[in-house]
Amino acid sequence: MTVSDLKQKFIEKYGEGEFHGYFSPGRVNLIGEHTDYNGGFVFPCALSFGAYLLIRRTDRQTVRFASLNLPFEAEVAVEDLNKKVGKEWVNYPIGVFAQFLKKGVKFEQGADILIFGDVPNGAGLSSSAALEMVTAMAINETYEIGLERLELIKMSQKAEHEFAGVMCGIMDQFASGMGKANHAIFLNCDTLDYDLVPVELDGIKIVISNTNSPHKLDSGMYNQRVSECHAAVDAISQYKPIKVLAEVSWDEFKSLEDKMEEEVPRKRARHVISEIARTEQAVQELRNGNIDTFGQLMNGSHDSLRDDYEVTGEELDTMVEEARKIDGVVGSRMTGGGFGGCTVSLVKDEAIDTFIAEVGKNYEARTGLKPAFYVAEIGDGAKRLF
């Protein structure tokens, strides 16, 4: 759907008059999974698809929410923009409004809001972060609040915590807010220091494979992993006082591993600490043009997520297994929170058609699910469109 189409839909819904449009992208994480809430490194990039939000400030004391993707609509009084509406999608933008209220912002006027997203829902490409980030940008500019972009990113993360109930790290919102075309973000999730690293893949494309087995991060499994990492921190702190797993190097962990009595926290820590080391190495390999080694590190990431973090499952593992059988695949791994969603693969240009045909056919034969494939374009972060 084009921006012109969206403008027409807004007018059909809310009538003529001045309004503005914003966009915030989804993201794919190349490597560094489940490290963000452990204070480690991640390496995501923004995608060319995401969430669009059209907004008009009004003189009413209510905010009207509508979506072109879902039928549910809501009209919420400005003083109630910190209250959930059942389990509906509007809780994502309402959750962002609530963060502004927490900062003492008073909304004297309401708004008309129309949302459209072209990130596949439940695919693990951060449709929720894109929606939160585009809402934060739109509110900040429409009501002339003047907050810095990093503050909007943090508020969007808190909205996810408090209104969606997912105790996510900062990666998704950061990638959506700070992305740059043809670059990935090497982000230290503890300090929020970051570098924009050019992604120069000569003759290779990033292919996202959607298992069409939607992940359910709000089902509790994600939050359970967060708790298990806290347990690992407690176990390691008996020997080295730490606050997050990122404070432990891989060599230190190898010396402490046998002292951790409980198997589950030990396995979770093994993944996180090894994944942080893999991510640092992968970024260096990419900077040096060593794409084959980068691909091997992607493979190692998936295997660790499967064996030690246990967040992959049949569909993601099947997709990765079939991908790795294709000549011309440099590396393949799950991306996102897991428990369904997408994989990300580096595929040589000449192998892309074969990849989509063969992996698609074999995956469907093994799982009964029909996958979808996207040749990713790395886009810019959140921005005003008009």
Beta bridge partners of 52: 23, 116
Q: Which of 172, 195, 202, 234 is catalytic?
A: 172
DSSP 274-326: HHHHHHHHHHHHHHTT-HHHHHHHHHHHHHHHHHTS----HHHHHHHHHHHTS
Question: What is the rounded distance in angstroms from the CA atom of residue 40 to the CA atom of residue 28?
Answer: 17
Give the Cα separation of 179 and 343 in Å (integer).
20
Q: Which residues pair with 74 in a beta bridge?
A: 65
- Compute how many other C-beta atoms are within 10 angstroms of the C-beta atom of residue 290: 15
Cβ neighbours around 3 below 10 Å, total? 13
Are residues 292 and 328 in contact, defined by beta-carbon separation less than 8 angstroms?
Answer: no
Supply the DSSP symbol for 378: B
Say if residues 153 and 172 touch (Cβ distance below 8 Å): no
Single-letter amino acid code for the residue at 84: K
Q: Name residue, tokens 């040589």.
A: 348
Q: Alpha carbon of 179 to those of 14, 85, 155, 301, 368: distances in Å?
A: 32, 31, 17, 23, 35
Annotated catalytic residue 317: no
Q: Tokens 């993707």 — which residue? A: 69
Alpha carbon 346 to chain centroid, angstroms = 19
The CA distance from 344 to 326, in Å, is 14
Per-state percent for the chain, helix, strand, coil, to nearest 5: 45, 20, 35
Q: And the tokens for 113?
A: 């809001």
Q: Distance between CA atoms of 157 and 170, rounded to whole angstroms?
A: 6
**Residues forming the active site:** 172
